[in-house]
């Protein structure tokens, strides 16, 4: 009996040593405690500290796995970890996703200390603004998603739409600004009733008229999809004819939004495709980052990897603009741009206003 008791005590002591050893302590605790996200007229703060968004857009794709979250579900654990390691090593602190991801994605966000800009509904050119049942369903879906995720430690903010006012069929042109604005304001209000802890934003195409400013009056944070220096006309976009002057004008415009509406403004999509050698991808994105500087609350670079499906097939990569936006290729091999961006993202502190001249010189001096 005494020997049995001794063995039990030894086993208990050994287990305790394992559970509280340094190795065990290194494993991150996947807790679900909500971030406290606040904002003023220019900046965003997380748990009381200044937070500059160094974001990467993430739309899961891998050859023969398909795309979107359905592909992600097929990813082996090693590939999921690889993607997060690439994002973390590059110095990003935020991931913008385009759909609600599987639960293990958000657990990896906690493990790698990445924040998420999360969609809660999925409206588009097909949305019938005049249909009360459509509004009711979208409010229900938004409340459902926010209720599930609002206490998760990875959530930075919610967003209500992508590419408003939707160029395929401009909703503002069809229904009128006030009707569209009121429609989405009701969904915003439903979210704020259950969650005051996270800001709500939307991704607007600011060179689409009318309706480029839908939501600006009620959103907490203004988000813009703007491939600065490339989206000033159609041919510049297609041929990657980058204009530094146009990029500066676009950033000044977004800074003016912040001043007018007294809200933080950030870019929810920017970047450059690598499909043409007329202007190299890394030079464009490096210039975009420099031009934004400290003027905005941050940006999300589009995107982590190439997506082959956008030209019609997902088995092979086509020589087409939309299939070459990645900082890495589809097999996760970093392009030159990845290594350039890595220097900037790691050189810009999260608790900062962005890239200032002193930081720029310091980063450029590194080999």
| In the predicted structure, residue 8 carries a pLDDT above the cut 80 | no
Q: Is the pLDDT of residue 44 over 70?
A: yes
The pLDDT value recorded for residue 16 is 35
Name the band, by pLDDT with cuts 50, 70 and 90, for residue 191.
very high
Q: Say what the pLDDT of residue 14 is.
A: 36
Confidence at residue 241, expressed as pLDDT on a 0 to 100 scale: 87
Q: List, in sequence order, every beta strand (DSSP E) within the chain.
A: 37-39, 44-46, 49-50, 53-58, 61-62, 66-67, 94-97, 115-119, 155-164, 200-205, 222-225, 265-270, 298-301
**pLDDT per position as a tens digit, 257-293:** 999 999 999 999 999 999 876 568 999 999 999 999 9
Judge whether residue 1 has pLDDT over 50: no
Q: How far apart are CA 50 and CA 36, in angstroms?
A: 12
Residue 23 clears pLDDT 70, i.e. is over it? no
pLDDT at 32: 61
DSSP letters, 19-53, are HTSHHHHHSPP-------EEE-SS-EEETTEE--E
With 60 as the cut, is the pLDDT of residue 92 above it? Answer: yes
- Over the stretch 331-358, which tens digit does the pLDDT of each residue have? 999 999 999 999 999 999 999 999 999 9
Selection from 352, 302, 50 nearest residue 162 by Cα? 302
| Structure confidence at residue 233 (pLDDT) | 80
Is a pLDDT exceeding 50 seen at residue 318? yes
- HEC string of 283-319 equals HHHHHHHHHHCCCCCEEEECCCECCHHHHCCCCCCCC
Task: Domains for the chain: give ranges and CATH numbers.
Answer: 35-365 (3.20.20.80)
């Amino acid at each position: 009996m005494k020997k049995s008791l001794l063995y039990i005590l030894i086993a208990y002591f050994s287990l305790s040593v394992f559970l509280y050893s340094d190795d065990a302590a290194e494993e991150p605790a996947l807790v679900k405690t909500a971030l406290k996200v606040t904002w003023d007229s220019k900046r965003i703060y997380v748990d009381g500290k200044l937070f500059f968004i160094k974001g990467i857009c993430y739309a899961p794709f891998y050859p023969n796995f398909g795309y979107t979250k359905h592909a992600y579900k097929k990813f082996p654990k090693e590939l999921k970890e690889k993607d997060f390691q690439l994002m973390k090593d590059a110095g990003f602190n935020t991931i913008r996703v385009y759909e609600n991801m599987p639960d293990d994605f958000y657990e990896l966000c906690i493990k790698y200390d990445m924040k998420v800009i999360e969609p809660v509904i999925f409206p588009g050119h097909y949305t019938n603004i005049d249909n009360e049942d459509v509004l009711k369903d979208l409010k229900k879906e938004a409340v459902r998603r926010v209720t599930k995720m609002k206490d998760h430690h990875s959530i930075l903010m919610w967003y209500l739409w992508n590419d408003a006012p939707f160029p395929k069929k401009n909703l503002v042109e069809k229904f009128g600004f006030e009707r569209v604005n009121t429609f989405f304001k009701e969904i915003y209000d439903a979210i704020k009733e259950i969650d005051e802890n996270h800001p709500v934003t939307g991704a607007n195409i600011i060179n689409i008229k009318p309706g480029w400013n839908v939501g600006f009056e009620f959103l907490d944070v203004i988000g813009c999809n703007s491939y600065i220096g490339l989206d000033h006309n159609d041919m510049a976009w297609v041929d990657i004819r980058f204009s530094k002057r146009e990029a500066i004008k676009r950033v000044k415009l977004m800074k003016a939004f912040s001043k007018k509406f007294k809200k933080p403004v950030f870019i929810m999509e920017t970047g450059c495709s690598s499909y043409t050698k007329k202007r190299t991808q890394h030079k464009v994105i490096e210039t975009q980052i420099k031009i934004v500087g400290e003027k905005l609350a941050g940006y999300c670079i589009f995107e982590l990897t190439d997506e082959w499906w956008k030209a019609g097939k997902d088995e092979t990569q086509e020589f087409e603009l939309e299939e070459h936006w990645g900082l890495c290729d589809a097999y996760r091999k970093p392009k030159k741009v990845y290594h350039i961006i890595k220097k900037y993202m790691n050189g810009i502190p999260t608790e900062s206003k962005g890239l200032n001249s002193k930081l720029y010189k310091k980063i450029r001096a590194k080999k």
